[in-house]
């Protein structure tokens, strides 16, 4: 079998090979096992063993949850390790519902993933993994099953994305661990593929001991595994996984920057076959972030929570996405070839989801009886249409230009556009057609988001009339609150988009001067019709809370990622009814 076919087989095989059923009665564990001490007859000394990457839980349902760990064998262990999983309703393990041997997958980097079923809804469980032979024992994890309809009046989701190890400390994960979130929704960019010294690196990276391992860009299976092990060595990420169940999807950096179904911006011809790289990345993603799916290439799936939230986790990145458009491909000596761009941009055949996923999504929404239809998007769904002349200047600055004259030009144009837009809102009769055209001639800022696939977005909106839609999104490293509207201006929902965990936002482009950042935020909030709020410089997460009457979002920010602190402040609170 050639390497590509082997990887394809690996990526599609069923990872959740361990399935255990919780007991309805109490299981009493022998005291010798509970103490995890050597007996007098056991003279063998083991070295190096342990559960060094902590524990984690994933994809909770009303009666199931996936429990995870990774075991490092002792140097003396010659045979395949035997691991025991204990699950209890109390932290002292007096009321045990599972105590069973589970299989270490030696072909999947010694990871362990167990789908525990027949649990009680809306119930906290404690769990641990142990090796009876070497006496290694993991930390005690906590998880919770999802509530059934009527069991809760509120559902709280902590929404996170974009954790670049080189950019700083994972204080946001520490804050999420200490929060009262029921579930963590991770929208991708869990790892970054870049080498040491590239994107995310800053003046503090070496001092904080945050250099990427392995040192090069990750392409092969073993390289992806080493990078995940490094990220999972972080104590704050370990704590978040230890205390909260996660529901995850991938974005691009789990594979390569600006990926799509057939390629990626950050995959070059000298790096081998892209499909082989993609399958390698998918293989390792499931080893470290297991999901309850039938096909490991298809991670879109749904969760019904308390009869209030129908959470649909999407793959807007890999499974169906056509290649992103690029303005550079439409530039001519006389400027943008707008006719050709608009024809390609509005092509109804272009897709970000793929037909199978789109049909699944529309069906799930239309058949759901939950009050809130919540989309777990990797990328922004809200429209970010900005004046064309502003877009050109922003693109030049974003490309890395540090020319002071360019920034001065941006500020001049922004002031002029803001003045015109303000006069328009005041119905100033002296405005000329040319002035109006400056703010009304708009283009999408981010063609890597849903804005690059507008026809499919309109199809989705048209297919789900009357539903309460909330989009959760990540990817941009900045915080956004937008109205979701269709091409006729009809409001169809709202978007709560989270800032990053560490990855730099617009402050990396425009500088960290508070006045410059504030001006940038104000300009864009005024000029982008659907945008209601943006924070362009802080790191944090969104706490999204849903009741029968309202959906509330709190944008919570940490004060720094350069020294350890899990304290947060709430920068913005909004409510949708």
- What is the pLDDT at residue 18? 78
Q: How far apart are CA 144 and CA 279, in angstroms?
A: 31
**In this model, does residue 16 exceed pLDDT 60?**
no
Q: Give the Cα separation of 485 and 492 in Å (integer).
A: 5
At 42, the pLDDT band (50, 70, 90 cuts) reads low
**Which range in 176-190, 333-347, 395-409 is most confidently predicted, on average pLDDT?**
176-190
Q: Where in the chain is the domain with CATH 2.60.40.380?
A: 9-145
Tell me the C-alpha distance between 38 and 45, whole Å. 9
Strands 468-473 and 491-497: parallel
Nearest C-alpha neighbor of 273 from the set 209, 211, 207, 219: 219
| pLDDT (average), residues 410-437 | 96
CA 560/CA 495 separation, integer angstroms: 26
Cβ neighbours around 112 below 10 Å, total: 24
Average pLDDT, the chain: 93
Q: Using the 8-state DSSP alphabet, how is residue 535 labeled?
A: E
Give the mean model confidence (pLDDT) for residues 308-333.
96
pLDDT at 22: 87
Segment holding 571, helix H or strand E: strand 568-576
- The DSSP annotation for 62-121 comes to SS-EEEEEE-B--TT--SPPEEEEEEESSTT-SSEEEEEEEE-BGGGTTEEEEEEESPPT
Band of the pLDDT at 10, cuts 50, 70, 90?
very low
- Closest CA relative to residue 472, chosen from 248, 289, 296: 248
Share of the chain above pLDDT 90, in %: 84
Q: How confident is the model at residue 286 (pLDDT cuts 50, 70, 90)?
A: very high
Q: What is the pLDDT of residue 44?
A: 81
Q: Which of 110-119, 369-378, 406-415, 457-466 has the lowest mean pLDDT?
A: 406-415
Q: Could you report the per-residue pLDDT of 182-233, keeping only the tens digit for each? A: 999 999 999 999 999 999 999 999 999 999 999 999 999 999 999 999 999 9
Q: Among candidates 208, 212, 164, 211, which has minimal Cα distance to 188? A: 164
Question: pLDDT tens for residues 233-279?
Answer: 999 999 999 999 999 999 999 999 999 999 999 999 999 999 999 99
pLDDT in tens, 501-559: 999 999 888 888 898 899 999 999 999 999 999 999 999 999 999 999 999 999 999 99
Confidence of residue 103 (pLDDT cuts 50, 70, 90): confident
Q: Note the pLDDT of residue 26.
A: 59
pLDDT at 401: 67
Q: Which of 7, 93, 168, 146 is nearest to 505 (CA)?
A: 168
Specify the pTM: 0.94
Task: Say how far apart CA 194 and CA 215 lie, in whole Å.
Answer: 9
Average pLDDT over residues 289-317: 97
pLDDT bin (cut points 50, 70, 90) of residue 437 is very high
| Chain segment 489-500, per-residue pLDDT in tens | 999 999 999 999
Q: Measured in Å, how far apart are the chain's first and last C-alpha atoms?
A: 55
User: Is 35's pLDDT higher than 60?
Assistant: no
For residue 37, what pLDDT is reported? 45
Given a cut of 80, is residue 15 above it in pLDDT?
no
Confidence at residue 1, expressed as pLDDT on a 0 to 100 scale: 43
Asked if residue 31 has pLDDT above 80, the reply is no
Distance CA 330, CA 67 (A): 49
Q: Cβ distance 344 to 302 under 8 Å? A: no
> Please, are residues 535 and 514 in contact by the beta-carbon 8 Å criterion?
no
386 — pLDDT class (breaks 50, 70, 90): very high
Instruction: List, in sequence order, every residue forming a beta bridge with 375; answer none if it has no partner.
Output: 312, 471
| Whether pLDDT at 371 is above 80 | yes
Which one has a higher pLDDT value, 566 or 16?
A: 566
pLDDT computed for residue 24 by the predictor: 65
CA distances from 356 to 106, 291, 319 (A): 34, 19, 10
Q: What is the CATH number of domain 9-145?
A: 2.60.40.380
The Cα–Cα gap between 320 and 314 comes to 11
Distance CA 362, CA 140 (A): 40
Residue 38 is predicted with a pLDDT of 44
Coil/strand/helix, residue 459:
helix
- Over residues 5-19, the mean pLDDT reads 52
């Amino acid at each position: 079998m050639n390497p590509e076919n082997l990887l394809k087989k690996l990526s599609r095989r069923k990872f959740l090979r361990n399935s255990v059923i919780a007991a309805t009665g109490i299981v009493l564990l022998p005291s010798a096992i509970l103490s995890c001490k050597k007996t007098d007859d056991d003279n063998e000394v083991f070295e190096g063993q342990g559960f060094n990457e902590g524990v984690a839980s994933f994809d909770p349902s009303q009666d199931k949850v996936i429990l995870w760990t990774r075991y490092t064998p002792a140097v003396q262990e010659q045979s395949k390790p035997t691991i025991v999983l204990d699950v209890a309703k109390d932290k002292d393990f007096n009321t045990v519902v599972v105590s069973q041997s589970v299989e270490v997958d030696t072909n999947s980097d010694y990871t362990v993933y167990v789908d525990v079923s027949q649990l009680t809804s809306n119930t906290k469980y404690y769990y641990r993994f142990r090796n009876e032979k070497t006496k290694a024992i993991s930390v005690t994890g906590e998880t919770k099953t999802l509530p059934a309809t009527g069991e809760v009046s509120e559902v709280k989701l902590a929404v996170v994305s974009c954790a670049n190890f080189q950019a700083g400390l994972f204080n946001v994960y520490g804050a999420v661990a200490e929060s009262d979130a029921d579930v963590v929704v991770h929208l991708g960019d869990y790892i970054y593929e870049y080498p040491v010294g590239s994107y995310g690196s800053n003046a503090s990276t070496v001092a904080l001991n945050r250099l990427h391992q392995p040192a090069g860009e990750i392409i092969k299976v073993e390289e992806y595994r080493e990078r995940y092990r490094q990220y999972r060595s972080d104590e704050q990420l370990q704590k978040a996984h230890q205390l909260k169940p996660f529901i995850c999807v991938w974005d691009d950096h789990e594979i390569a920057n600006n990926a799509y179904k057939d390629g990626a911006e950050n995959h070059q011809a000298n790096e081998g076959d892209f499909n082989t790289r993609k399958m390698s990345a998918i293989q390792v993603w499931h080893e470290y972030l297991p999901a309850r799916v039938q096909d490991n290439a298809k991670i879109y799936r749904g969760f019904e929570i308390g009869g209030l939230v129908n959470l649909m986790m999407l793959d807007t990145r890999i499974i169906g996405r056509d290649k992103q458009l690029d303005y550079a491909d439409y530039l001519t000596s006389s400027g943008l070839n707008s006719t050709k761009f608009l024809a390609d941009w509005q092509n109804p055949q272009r897709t970000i989801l793929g037909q199978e996923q789109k049909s699944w999504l529309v069906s799930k929404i239309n058949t759901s009886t939950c009050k809130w239809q919540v989309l777990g998007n990797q990328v922004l769904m809200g429209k970010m249409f900005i004046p064309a002349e502003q877009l050109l200047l922003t693109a030049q600055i974003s490309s890395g230009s540090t020319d002071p004259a360019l920034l001065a030009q941006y500020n001049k144009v922004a002031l002029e556009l803001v003045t015109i837009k303000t006069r328009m809102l005041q119905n100033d009769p002296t405005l000329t057609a040319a002035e109006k055209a400056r703010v009304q001639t708009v283009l999408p800022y981010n063609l890597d988001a849903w804005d690059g696939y507008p026809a499919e977005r309109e199809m989705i909106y048209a297919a789900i009339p009357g539903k309460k839609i909330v989009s959760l999104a990540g990817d941009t490293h900045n915080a956004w609150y937008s109205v979701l509207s269709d091409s006729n201006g009809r409001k169809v929902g709202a978007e709560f988009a989270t800032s990053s965990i560490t990855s730099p936002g617009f402050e990396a482009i425009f500088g960290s001067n508070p006045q410059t950042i504030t001006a940038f935020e104000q300009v864009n909030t005024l000029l982008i019709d659907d945008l209601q709020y943006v924070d362009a410089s802080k790191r944090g997460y969104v706490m999204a809370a849903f009741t029968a009457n309202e959906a509330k979002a709190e944008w919570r920010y940490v004060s720094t990622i350069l020294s350890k602190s899990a304290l947060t402040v709430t920068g913005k609170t909004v409510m949708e009814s």
